[in-house]
Structure 1
């Protein structure tokens, strides 16, 4: 599915590899109450959690981040990837407030956590690209005050030059619950 025009600039970034991989899945939608989306079920199998991840009604933001990172060559603990807040232990720490393009952001939410990729920010919120955002892979504005961690991979050949802070002038309705 094509990105909305206001986010089409991401198609020209070309790096990091996890950005390119993740954007290929824009619009993947869960099938609540109708059986799982076969793509999401295949992700669970690919990362080794299909034995206990049985339905896309189960929060899958961590599953999405996990399959993206696996496909671009970065490991993780499959037993913890569905617990979104466990991603705060993954990779290397970048201080909250210092997030850069396609870092992994970890958030607190009622009933658990949420994890997704940094796209940009304004004064009050991060624009996050991730899975299980309105039951789909897509974009959501999340209040900066909910962020509990910023992580990035230990880049194998150095951090790409375009990995940077991105300030956006646009705003959107804040997400309050990504489950």
Structure 2
């Protein structure tokens, strides 16, 4: 079940290209999940990245570019494990804005959550997010053909 984490880790360090150029790896995340209209790596890509990872792992996806779209995918869970999807609010809780990534774990004091995701400081990395911004955790299932 660590397939999501392993796929995401294979992209660790992928970074937006500064200026008029655009990182073809970031653009490929959009392309491979069906959002071929995206032509710039400045387009918010946290959800595109998690959709791409889930696509590669043959798991459920939101198919949308908004982080909060993940609140309707998979199974809602209270006790997350490595590999689960984690969704946060951004700007303000009532806003449509958010962030999505893969749950790694809590800090020792449980005030922050370690997240592996894309578009975290414009790159794929592991970063902490405050627990008070948590909207939810989701567990994805495999898609059977």
TM-score (norm 1): 0.72
Within 5 A, what are the aligned runs for 1:1-179?
A: 15-51=1-37, 53-78=38-63, 80=64, 82-95=65-78, 98-110=79-91, 112-122=97-107, 123-155=110-142
Could you say which structure has the larger radius of gyration? Answer: 1
How many angstroms does 1:58 deviate by? 1.1
Mind listing any 5+ residue stretches in structure 1 that lack a counterpart? Answer: 1-14, 157-179
Q: For 1:154-177, what per-residue CA distance to the aligned partner results, in whole angstroms no more than 9, with x for missing partners?
A: 257xxxxxxxxxxxxxxxxxxxxx
Contact preservation (8 Å) 2:51, 2:62: no
Alpha-carbon spacing, 1:83–1:63, altered in 2? closer, same or farther (3 Å): same
Mind listing any 5+ residue stretches in structure 2 that lack a counterpart? Answer: none
Query: How many pairs are equivalent?
Result: 138
Which structure's residues are more often strand, by fraction? 2
Counterpart CA distance in 1 for 2:20 and 2:33 is 23
Contact preservation (8 Å) 1:105, 1:117: yes
Contact preservation (8 Å) 1:32, 1:57: no
Contact preservation (8 Å) 2:60, 2:141: no
How many angstroms does 1:77 deviate by? 4.1
Contact preservation (8 Å) 1:32, 1:56: no
SS of the residue corresponding to residue 39 of structure 1 reads helix
TM-score (norm 2): 0.88
SS of the residue corresponding to residue 51 of structure 2 reads helix
Q: CA RMSD in A?
A: 1.7
